[in-house]
Structure 1
Amino acid sequence: MRLKINLKGAVQGVGFRPFVFRLASELGLKGWIINDSSGVEIEVEGDETILQTFLIRLNAEKPPLAHIYSQEVEYLEDVGYSSFEIRESKGEGRKEVLVLPDIATCDECLKELFDPQDKRYMYPFINCTNCGPRFTIIEKLPYDRPNTSMKVFPMCEDCLREYEDPVNRRFHAQPNACHVCGPWVSLYASDGKLLAERGDAINLLIKALRDGLIVAVKGIGGFHLMCDATREEPVKLLRDRKRRLEKPFAVMFKDMEQVSEYAEPTELEKALLLSPERPIVLIKKRKELAPSVAPGLKRVGAFLPYSPLHHIILKALDFPVVATSGNLSDEPIVKDNEEALRKLSLFADMILVHNRDIKRRCDDSVFKVVGGIPQPIRRSRGYAPLPVKLSFKLPKKILAVGGMLKNTFAIGFDDTVILSQHVGDVENLETQKSFEGMVFDLMTLYEFKPEVVVCDLHPRYETTRWAEYFSQKENIPLIKVQHHYAHILSCMAERGINGKVLGIAWDGTGYGDDGTLWGGEFMICDYQGYERVFYMKPFRLIGGEKAVKEPRRMALSLLFELYGKDVFDMSLPAVSSFTNSGLVNLYTAWSKGINSPYSSSVGRLFDAVASLLNIKQTISYEGQAAMMLEDLYDPSIKDHYPYFIEEKHINWKPTILAIIEDREKEKIPSRFINTLAKICLDVSIRMDVEQVCLSGGVMQNDPLVSKIKELLSNRGFKVYTHQRVPANDGGLCLGQAVYGSL
């Protein structure tokens, strides 16, 4: 008989064809395999029982990077194939094949990289079908070398022999190359002068790092800025040059032994660090790095080398390095050589480039264990553009543009939503241009033409404005979805939840249906709609956007609500940080509502408490005060503060009064977080909905989520958190895509 198999999923560029070739040959089957625009097509002929064995082993023994999402099988009459062959790829038809993310260097390549007898010894672009770049080098589908940035590097005889040998692990490894025929590195001074090439360039760069200099290094999805993470002088200089006041830097360690010297990763965090995706993982510090690496925080963003170039550099050093995105403040990560020489020379003393083009920028992914479960804080390299598979089919093709901060966007079709890599905060011209370019790039890659565009309700989001322009230009419908409902839909879709849920969506801000700013929401949700059942009692943001950057303004707002003008005579840090005239002006703005919109945001409550405790009066990056408060949580403290639930409001006044009067200052962060968790329990009991979804940026707070899960699970509720997309605005587009199909 003849067996015809069509496979869809991540099945190209993972060694799938050589695996099938070996399996068919071992079983004595005849036929062929081919890559096409929708995935992989296979025909095999032989005895019926052997064909069944082939089918079973096809799924059980497939390559580790392969993901099969759809398998169509058809039994036909045999046509008399004489052998099994791998046919040339065909590119016509609907583009449905999934593009693989970039995968960290595998152990086999690593062994060869540091073997002096191997032909790829110290070659910074070593790879095979089990590892290496994918998403950042592909130009179009199907994934074949002529469709990648490797097309300009003809393979030498040795590499070509490997590439054409079905039993070799480099069979059809599209980036396959070596010292003889592949790309190479070049080192430039900040003035643009060429200093060295190939191995000499790397050796000079390593010396510069040892000497305390700052260097820029071109990686897989863009440039890193690097320096010695143990020396304060270069780290502080890098901060000064980047004008990045306090936002923590990521640190790259050579191996797990070095990680454990400076930090205390749990077993789960170790598994994340060592995974093929190699994300940055937020872990507890053991030994202080340079103070300016992560000022005021007890965690460090740690990761391991994921490209052969990183491995070569880190192996030669006896210290970890800061490895932060190479970009101007608030701009996209730099990916091109000319742009790097122009822009990064402002920060770096030397710039290491290579001549393999990066087709699309892709920042490092960031993970954190929240409530005992790994959760993406930023989903990008190693994960994008793998899809989220839905438990239902989308009736339309959807383009969901996401939010404004931590932006990702998505395209949705059938039961598949493909999320983009991290774009960033779409707040200036450069990021707007980058966002638009990335949207068109992903649509072009999949030959995707949306039938509906979905965006956030906020009228001043740049992504909303772009969606309005694009939908009008293309004459396709535009749908706007409320921010926090999209958060809950994202969690529901990711976790495959049906029926009604109690959605708890807490974050810094989101535009509400009533025109006010929401952020402390309890919603009864399903895929048809939502009802806002409870929310934090609204308070004013004195100065609007200024209040977001100054926790002291948030504290004043709550204090004015509690004490009125008596606040002027109180000896609290938030009060004493302003002059008397400043306090009078702020009180006037608060009392008259001048540029002081109402908000129900739990994120802003965290800011207010941080100010009352004098942890932070002004912040230099989003979530800074809340992160510092989270670090002070003590799980041995079980009590909480009072609060009221009245009509639809959660009244925070008793909580803030108790905090002000609490003399055990060191226990306040724990009692405050316990109070928020207890509020979640009380509302859950009142609403009596078994399924509870937690989403929004506040739900990245580990002790808060852990406490909520503990309290609710003990009362029989099923609590769902994010695992594959961020709880923050980086996951909004998934919820938008689902909403747009309803």
Structure 2
Amino acid sequence: MYKAIKIIVKGKVQGVGFRPFIYYLSKKYHLNGTVQNNLDGVIIMVEGEEEKLEEMVDKIKKYPPKLAKINEVNIHQIPITHYKEFTIIPSEKNGESIPWIPADAAICEDCLEEMKDPHNRRFQYPFINCTQCGPRYTIINRLPYDRTNTSMKKFTMCHDCEVEYEDPLNRRHHAQPICCSKCGPTVTLYNQSGKSLAENQSAITQTVDQIKQGKIIAIKGIGGFHLACDAYQERVVDQLRLRKKRPQKPLAIMVKSLEAARNLCYISSQEEELLTSPEMPIVILQRKRDGVLPQNISPGLTTIGIMLPYTPLHHLLFENHKLECIVMTSANLSGIPIFYKDDSLDHLQNICDYILTHNREIYFPIDDSVVQCDGENTIFVRRARGFVPEPLKTTSNVDHIIALGGNQKTTFAVGKKNQIVISPHVGDLENEELMVSLKEQLNHYKEWMGIKEQYFAVDKHPLYASTSMAKGLNRKVISIQHHHAHHVSCMEDNGLDEPCLGIILDGTGYGEDGQIWGFEFLYGNAYSFERLAHLQYTPLPGGEKAVKEPWRNAVGMLLYYWPQEGKELCMKLFPERVKEINIIEKMIVHQINTPMAGTCGRLFDVISAILRICWISTYEGEAAIKLSDYMNRTELESTDAVYSFHLKSNIQSQLQVDFSPMIYQIIQDKLQQQSIIKIIQKFHRTIVSCCVQMVSKLVRNRPDLNKTVVLSGGSFQNVFLSREIQKGLQKEGFNVYSHKQVPCHDGGLSLGQIIVAAHEVANMTKGY
């Protein structure tokens, strides 16, 4: 029976070879009609035998192009038009959705095979790509996504590339970055003085030789410059750390193959899938105890961040088998935005020996994404290359709202109708350079999406740089409490609307009472929240200084809990700091520059300092990260033993957690030289037990509370905490949700902010 149908395919279906895929199916099943892009997705008008139409729809659903992600397929029967053939027709700019911006994708297997084939015209060409791989997001200056609006516009296609580009049956049909060695970009190797040494394959060969000789090379990639060196040469890694001013923070490495990665780390099937996905993020893996990598790759940790080669150039670096594993870290100095412009060469000359660059301009910088697995779920540590800027659908009206996140691990969120686009990781807003980077990226997004913001959602902290920026732009500013935003971020990440419980464990957040929050038990949703319980406040002598020097935090806590005995304990634990301890004592007594804080991050800092694991942090979260890493070092004891703690009420009728008994017991265990690993395991179990007991007690006191719990905040990057709190609560009959699409730390804050702001705007509109 001859029929006609209209198929609307929504999701990640543009810029991924979807129209040529449909064209191919039309030829296979002898169908006629049209295929077209608009802002809503791909629109297919097709007619033919009913059986063939059904087969086409089945193939669309089950076997779409590798880069495609289909959210929905809608089919409508329509009148027969009697098309003479099947054609790809020009895109329309109408539709309800936001303009779709494709993400960068790792080189595909087909292009990799061609690049390795001496008989192929793209043999050893470092910019080979097709509709299933290559640069997208980083080279687009404006929409629509046509070559003339990308940094490829300066490279005129040769005849052979143009033929491929125009052929609907070719996998490079309308691949905007299409090129070859005749008509595309080239690579050049420069020395420190800026002198050109070699080009193309010769430049790559010399780069490999220099890396083997212990040199540090800046390499321009898809989203910016990396610093690369031989990961097996400990002295060179030390030199790179010195130049980059990154003394302890882990360095990512790139290995030539999955097999090489297996030689270094344990890799689960889930981790393998992530390593080899089109996004090819850095995956945090457990290193093998007999591995040969030097410890200074990730000092004090048993994990390594590993990625596989994801660009043609990366594969060419590993091609001659001289290299197996290289450090591949962003080339900017710590705390400075990623270098991506060609005028960055002057800066790079101070931190590297050679520069391998290319003449394809990067319009939009982006870091590598970082993920880890907890055995079941993928946890985003940094959401960037490959995953950005995929839009998130929401049931809230977020139109004309921009959320600016926090001050650390900053991302911003831009709303249009009922869709949200979250920026890649911007960084910590600690200097003017990062603020400029934030503004540039935000302006780019506004232009892409055609947004004229009416509202800015910001953190309630009065001194955050993003808050100051928003207040200077003459728009309505909506201030949102930090942990409320975390709570709602996790709710939105899981499609939850009804009020629910939230455990928010993080480092620092400005509280509504002016204190520093971060170990919170909340109840609510985007409309409002109630603080039901929290960690007892203790002094943070020196404020930010105590965050960077956890031993100060420990001293403040001990002096607060036990003014006399606590000082003696401080002297035993930190005998090198006698003079400072006396000063801190006076600061606490006279309340000089000593804010009060109750946060999970600072609690971990205290235990890390007491156990002498990390008592001065060189990067954000270092003390907590190194402490929690001990949970990976041996088999976990099968015991329920925990330290003591108290759950008690305060004058606001809130419950408070008092961990002073636990801290005292940990100090005694340390002074009695008990096993550090056993102390740390028991400490972690205590945090888990406390959270489960607290939530259970809250529900017993308030039976009306919904037994759904969301987990958010940076401390939930700790896989043990996340997994065991979830298991403990589920055993008690709770439904528990953690983050899926955005990080649990402040990188996911903007998602919560934009949803809370949307509800506040809706209330204002109604006149409440």
TM range (shorter): over 0.9
Instruction: Work out which of the residue numbers 158, 161, 164 in structure 2 matches 1:159.
Output: 161
2:652 aligns with: none
Query: How big is the shift at 1:552?
Result: 0.4
Q: Are 2:684 and 1:682 aligned?
A: no
2:139 aligns with: 137
3-state secondary structure, aligned to 1:252 = strand
Query: How big is the shift at 1:68?
Result: 3.5
Query: How big is the shift at 1:453?
Result: 1.6
One-letter amino acid matched to 2:381 = I
In the alignment, structure 2 segments of 5+ residues that lack a partner are: 650-654, 700-705, 760-768
Separation in structure 1 between the aligned mates of residue 95 and residue 523 of structure 2, nearest angstrom: 42
> CA offsets per residue over residues 661-682 of structure 1, 9 Å max, x none?
2232421111111110001110
3-state secondary structure, aligned to 2:485 = helix
Query: How big is the shift at 1:572?
Result: 5.1
> CA offsets per residue over residues 132-181 of structure 1, 9 Å max, x none?
11111112222222222112112112211111111111111111111111
Q: Are 2:435 and 1:432 aligned?
A: yes
Correspondences of 1:261-300 after superposition (within 5 Å): 261-286=263-288, 287-300=291-304
Separation in structure 2 between the aligned mates of residue 139 and residue 571 of structure 1, nearest angstrom: 57
1:635 aligns with: 636
Between 1:277-286 and 1:661-670, the stretch displaced more is 661-670
Correspondences of 1:372-391 after superposition (within 5 Å): 372-390=376-394
3-state secondary structure, aligned to 1:734 = helix
Separation in structure 2 between the aligned mates of residue 440 and residue 94 of structure 1, nearest angstrom: 22
Is the alpha carbon distance of 1:261 and 1:173 closer, same or farther for their aligned partners in structure 2, counting shifts above 3 Å? same
> CA offsets per residue over residues 598-619 of structure 1, 9 Å max, x none?
1111100100001111111111
Separation in structure 1 between the aligned mates of residue 66 and residue 539 of structure 2, nearest angstrom: 53
One-letter amino acid matched to 1:510 = G
Is the alpha carbon distance of 1:267 and 1:84 closer, same or farther for their aligned partners in structure 2, counting shifts above 3 Å? closer
Correspondences of 1:464-613 after superposition (within 5 Å): 464-470=467-473, 472=474, 476-570=475-569, 574-580=573-579, 582-613=580-611
One-letter amino acid matched to 2:616 = T
Instruction: Work out which of the residue numbers 241, 252, 255 in structure 1 matches 2:254.
Output: 252
Instruction: Work out which of the residue numbers 219, 227, 235 in structure 2 matches 1:217.
Output: 219
8 Å CA contact 1:366–1:376 kept in 2: the answer is yes
One-letter amino acid matched to 1:674 = R
3-state secondary structure, aligned to 1:396 = coil
> CA offsets per residue over residues 231-265 of structure 1, 9 Å max, x none?
11111111111111111110111111111112222
Q: Are 2:755 and 1:738 aligned?
A: yes
1:403 aligns with: 406
One-letter amino acid matched to 2:460 = L
Between 1:208-217 and 1:637-646, the stretch displaced more is 637-646
> CA offsets per residue over residues 180-209 of structure 1, 9 Å max, x none?
111110111111111111111111111110
In the alignment, structure 1 segments of 5+ residues that lack a partner are: none
3-state secondary structure, aligned to 1:217 = strand
Q: Are 2:741 and 1:724 aligned?
A: yes
8 Å CA contact 1:572–1:612 kept in 2: the answer is no
8 Å CA contact 2:9–2:41 kept in 1: the answer is yes
Separation in structure 2 between the aligned mates of residue 53 and residue 506 of structure 1, nearest angstrom: 50
Correspondences of 1:38-437 after superposition (within 5 Å): 38-46=40-48, 50-51=52-53, 53-69=55-71, 74-91=76-93, 96-286=98-288, 287-316=291-320, 317-339=322-344, 341-370=345-374, 372-390=376-394, 392-394=395-397, 396-437=399-440
Q: Are 2:458 and 1:455 aligned?
A: yes
Q: TM-score, normalised by structure 1?
A: 0.96
One-letter amino acid matched to 1:447 = G
Query: How big is the shift at 1:60?
Result: 3.3
8 Å CA contact 1:504–1:692 kept in 2: the answer is yes
Query: How big is the shift at 1:372?
Result: 3.7
One-letter amino acid matched to 1:624 = E
Between 1:150-159 and 1:434-443, the stretch displaced more is 150-159
3-state secondary structure, aligned to 1:399 = strand
Between 1:42-51 and 1:7-16, the stretch displaced more is 42-51
Query: How big is the shift at 1:24?
Result: 2.1
8 Å CA contact 1:457–1:511 kept in 2: the answer is yes
One-letter amino acid matched to 2:156 = P
3-state secondary structure, aligned to 2:33 = strand
Separation in structure 1 between the aligned mates of residue 576 and residue 723 of structure 2, nearest angstrom: 34
Query: How big is the shift at 1:517?
Result: 0.8
Between 1:30-39 and 1:446-455, the stretch displaced more is 30-39
Separation in structure 2 between the aligned mates of residue 570 and residue 23 of structure 1, nearest angstrom: 75
Separation in structure 1 between the aligned mates of residue 70 and residue 203 of structure 2, nearest angstrom: 42
One-letter amino acid matched to 2:377 = I
3-state secondary structure, aligned to 1:312 = helix
Query: How big is the shift at 1:300?
Result: 0.9
8 Å CA contact 1:553–1:574 kept in 2: the answer is no
3-state secondary structure, aligned to 2:397 = strand
Query: How big is the shift at 1:416?
Result: 1.9
Q: Are 2:658 and 1:656 aligned?
A: no
8 Å CA contact 1:95–1:141 kept in 2: the answer is no
> CA offsets per residue over residues 611-651 of structure 1, 9 Å max, x none?
11111111101111111111222521531101000012101
Instruction: Work out which of the residue numbers 424, 445, 449 in structure 2 matches 1:446.
Output: 449
Separation in structure 1 between the aligned mates of residue 268 and residue 20 of structure 2, nearest angstrom: 38
Separation in structure 1 between the aligned mates of residue 735 and residue 375 of structure 2, nearest angstrom: 14
8 Å CA contact 2:212–2:323 kept in 1: the answer is no
8 Å CA contact 1:8–1:97 kept in 2: the answer is no
Q: TM-score, normalised by structure 2?
A: 0.92
Separation in structure 2 between the aligned mates of residue 572 and residue 583 of structure 1, nearest angstrom: 8
8 Å CA contact 1:190–1:348 kept in 2: the answer is yes
3-state secondary structure, aligned to 2:24 = helix
8 Å CA contact 1:384–1:421 kept in 2: the answer is yes
Between 1:269-278 and 1:52-61, the stretch displaced more is 52-61
Query: How big is the shift at 1:371?
Result: 6.1
Separation in structure 1 between the aligned mates of residue 611 and residue 218 of structure 2, nearest angstrom: 39
> CA offsets per residue over residues 36-72 of structure 1, 9 Å max, x none?
4444333334456655554444333322222344656
One-letter amino acid matched to 2:335 = D
8 Å CA contact 2:230–2:323 kept in 1: the answer is no
Separation in structure 1 between the aligned mates of residue 182 and residue 292 of structure 2, nearest angstrom: 43
8 Å CA contact 2:481–2:510 kept in 1: the answer is yes
RMSD: 1.9
3-state secondary structure, aligned to 2:509 = strand
Is the alpha carbon distance of 1:176 and 1:137 closer, same or farther for their aligned partners in structure 2, counting shifts above 3 Å? same
> CA offsets per residue over residues 547-588 of structure 1, 9 Å max, x none?
0001101110111022214444336564313133x2221111
One-letter amino acid matched to 1:641 = Y
One-letter amino acid matched to 2:232 = T
8 Å CA contact 1:370–1:701 kept in 2: the answer is no
Total equivalences in the alignment: 735
1:614 aligns with: 612
3-state secondary structure, aligned to 2:190 = strand
Is the alpha carbon distance of 1:22 and 1:266 closer, same or farther for their aligned partners in structure 2, counting shifts above 3 Å? closer
> CA offsets per residue over residues 287-332 of structure 1, 9 Å max, x none?
1422321111111111111111011112333331110001122111
Between 1:90-99 and 1:700-709, the stretch displaced more is 90-99
Separation in structure 2 between the aligned mates of residue 395 and residue 116 of structure 1, nearest angstrom: 52
8 Å CA contact 2:10–2:41 kept in 1: the answer is yes
8 Å CA contact 1:452–1:478 kept in 2: the answer is yes
Separation in structure 2 between the aligned mates of residue 269 and residue 67 of structure 1, nearest angstrom: 20
> CA offsets per residue over residues 250-284 of structure 1, 9 Å max, x none?
01111111111122223322222122111111111
Between 1:502-511 and 1:19-28, the stretch displaced more is 19-28
